[in-house]
Chains A and B, each alone.
Chain A
Amino acid sequence: MSAHAIEADPLYGLMAEFETAGELVAAARATREAGFKKFDAYSPVPIHELDDAMDLHDNRVSLFTLIGGLIGCCGGFGLASWVEAVALPLNIGGRPFISAPMYIPITFECTVLIGGLTAAISMILMNGLPSPYHPVFNVERFADASRSKFFLCIESGDPKFDRYQTVSFLEGLNPEEIAEVAR
């Protein structure tokens, strides 16, 4: 992908390592302000300041959960009503076939079931998981991203990416270390 692929190994990107969460947020903000689009920050804890610094405002999980919940809601009520009014209508103590208040527990449980499953599944799928392989793991020190260290990776697919200029840009952010990420 990279126009500057001079080296033998195809390059996925350049990764800078930081000691603290604050440095990572500052670096991510600087990277975005420098015009990079394809980059990502990696941290052992969720950092809410990064949402702002990287302009992350993906609300689709909420939307899908709402849709899933509504499907469950209508499905639960519809199932109970269809069964009791159409499929097997029985007179239970003279109650109407669609005894709405008595179908609320089923409706509620189905709402939560489908809504909850949608929330979890849509989060996993939109994150591109499961992903058995990812280039960032080629950096040995990246194992600490799930433990104690903070990383920023600018990807070679970014139009502004240049192997040498990007290195000097990252050096300006005062990282602990910079590593090339093999694809």
Chain B
Amino acid sequence: MAQPVELPDKIVVGPVIDEGHSLASVSDKIAGIVLKRKITLGWVFGFLIAFGFLQLLMAGATWLFVKGVGVWGINIPVGWGFAIVNFVWWIGIGHAGTLISAILLLLNQSWRNAINRFAEAMTIFAVMCAGMFPVLHTGRPWLAYWLLPYPNTMWLWPQFRSPLVWDVFAVSTYLTISAVFWYVGLIPDFATLRDSAKQLWKARIYGFLALGWRSSARHWQRYEKAALLLAGLSTPLVVSVHTVVSFDFAVAQLPGWHTTIFPPYFVAGAIYSGFAMVLTLMIPVRTFYGLEDIITIRHLNNMAKVTLATGMIVGYGYMFEAFFGYYSADIYEKFMIWNRMTGPYAVFYWCLIFCNVITPQFLWIKKLRTSPLMLWVVSIVVNIGMWLERFVIVITSLHRDFLPSSWGMYWPTRWDWAVYLGTLGLFMTCIFLFVRVLPMITIFELRMLLPGARVKEPVAQ
């Protein structure tokens, strides 16, 4: 399907997939990582670190359930502390996966084929981490089902005019559809694993998951249609999710939140942080698993360009936040932006500007975009920057609002950190397990990039 668009060599850096690969060799290479590769000491070491951090989540959540949300640093006026900062950060990270799997599919960008599985996995794990925070933040997670519309004896229903209820629907739909899309993409690859597995128990497990897929043309035809429809549905979905998240803020009357620029600026920020996270994870993985011939410099270069472009949109957002603070002639708006830049949290604001506006400018340099190590460093800085952005939006807007008598300060406690670092542990644990048990690159879509998948009908029939 995806005929690569011909671009001049100046723009395209290297091939989408190294020459010398055949249908069989890519299948064996990716399936071999799951089926044949031994568990290395490095993997065990990394997994144990991630798993150790995961225990922090258990400890943090347990203490929270025992004592209540008072163990966190939240207070009045700052009722939304780390929980909402981290929620927005995680859900933003997820957005790159859907962008790569859905939007780039519709745009026929064949380079996505090598990275979409990994990015989608990242989406699902990030949304899992994100979803935990609002539930924990309620303080009574065992009553989380109250968020859903269900008939109850008190005949109480959610308020459908509230962005917080929209959020419940948006995030749960996002998680469900991402998981379904991911699984549909995995079915043909499960079949490959089933057919390549040497041990019976592996063949049985993957065979069960493959649902009996037999690569039939009649099946492929419906399959591709369904994949295209899912991509078409996911494309507006991914834009809607962070838009709805931004409504949580924008619909409020609070200076610093009540702006119309929030939806596009949040969506761009989400894709920006998501691509940074894909780079953060993928650069080490491609080195450790020897995938430089499949996730090529061209992929890194393209992802760096998306990061740069969305970073510029985010920078534009910051500029206009500041400009509207001044231009609104509203004393509270003016104070909010002034307080953000010079108040007690000013250091966070200027770090954020450094991370998100200045750092991505280095990506103009081609040499840097094609250097995995430098790109990795930039991606880490961007991840930190996007976390700071959410911190600045949530905390600095809340802590000094209209009435000086109701001002306050917010500082996270160790339990805030435990839960945040714990979700990082959960995320990394899932990633470590994922690269061992599932094909981290979509094998059948990789085959589609190869000349062997193209049709040249023989003349004599």
Provide the bound-state CA to CA distance between A51 and B225, in Å.
Answer: 12
A171 at the interface (CB under 8 A from B): no
Looking at chain B's contact residues, the main secondary structure is: helix
Residues 147-171 of chain A, each 1 if its beta carbon lies under 8 Å from chain B, else 0: 1100000000000000000000000
* Contact yes or no, B233 A26, CB < 8 A: no
Q: Given the known A-B contacts A109-B240, A110-B169, are A119 and B233 also in contact in the complex, defined by CB atoms under 8 Å?
A: yes
Size band of the A side of the interface?
35 or more
* Contact yes or no, A26 B458, CB < 8 A: yes
Contacts of A79 in B (CB 8 A): 149, 160
* Contact yes or no, A131 B177, CB < 8 A: no
Provide the bound-state CA to CA distance between A79 and B222, in Å.
Answer: 32
B223 at the interface (CB under 8 A from A): yes
B36 at the interface (CB under 8 A from A): no
Looking at chain A's contact residues, the main secondary structure is: helix
A50 at the interface (CB under 8 A from B): yes
* Contact yes or no, A95 B161, CB < 8 A: yes
* Contact yes or no, B229 A119, CB < 8 A: yes
Q: Given the known A-B contacts A54-B217, A109-B169, A145-B214, are A116 and B453 also in contact in the complex, defined by CB atoms under 8 Å?
A: no
Residues 20-56 of chain A, each 1 if its beta carbon lies under 8 Å from chain B, else 0: 1111011011100000000011111111111100101
Q: Given the known A-B contacts A42-B215, A116-B230, A143-B195, are A22 and B220 also in contact in the complex, defined by CB atoms under 8 Å?
A: no
Provide the bound-state CA to CA distance between A65 and B229, in Å.
Answer: 8
Task: State how many angstroms separate the Cβ of A149 from the closest Cβ of chain B.
Answer: 8
Residues 199-239 of chain B, each 1 if its beta carbon lies under 8 Å from chain A, else 0: 00000000000011111111111111110011001101100
* Contact yes or no, B221 A56, CB < 8 A: yes
Task: State how many angstroms separate the Cβ of B98 from the closest Cβ of chain A.
Answer: 12
Task: State how many angstroms separate the Cβ of A62 from the closest Cβ of chain B.
Answer: 6
Provide the bound-state CA to CA distance between A42 and B214, in Å.
Answer: 7
Provide the bound-state CA to CA distance between A92 and B159, in Å.
Answer: 10
Starting from the known contacts A46-B1, A46-B221, A144-B24, 12 additional A-B residue pairs (CB-CB under 8 Å) come to A21-B454, A44-B27, A44-B215, A47-B455, A62-B225, A80-B160, A105-B247, A106-B169, A109-B170, A112-B173, A131-B211, A147-B192
In the complex, 7 of the A-B residue pairs with CB atoms within 8 angstroms, ordered by the A residue number, are A95-B161, A109-B173, A117-B180, A119-B226, A127-B219, A146-B213, A148-B27
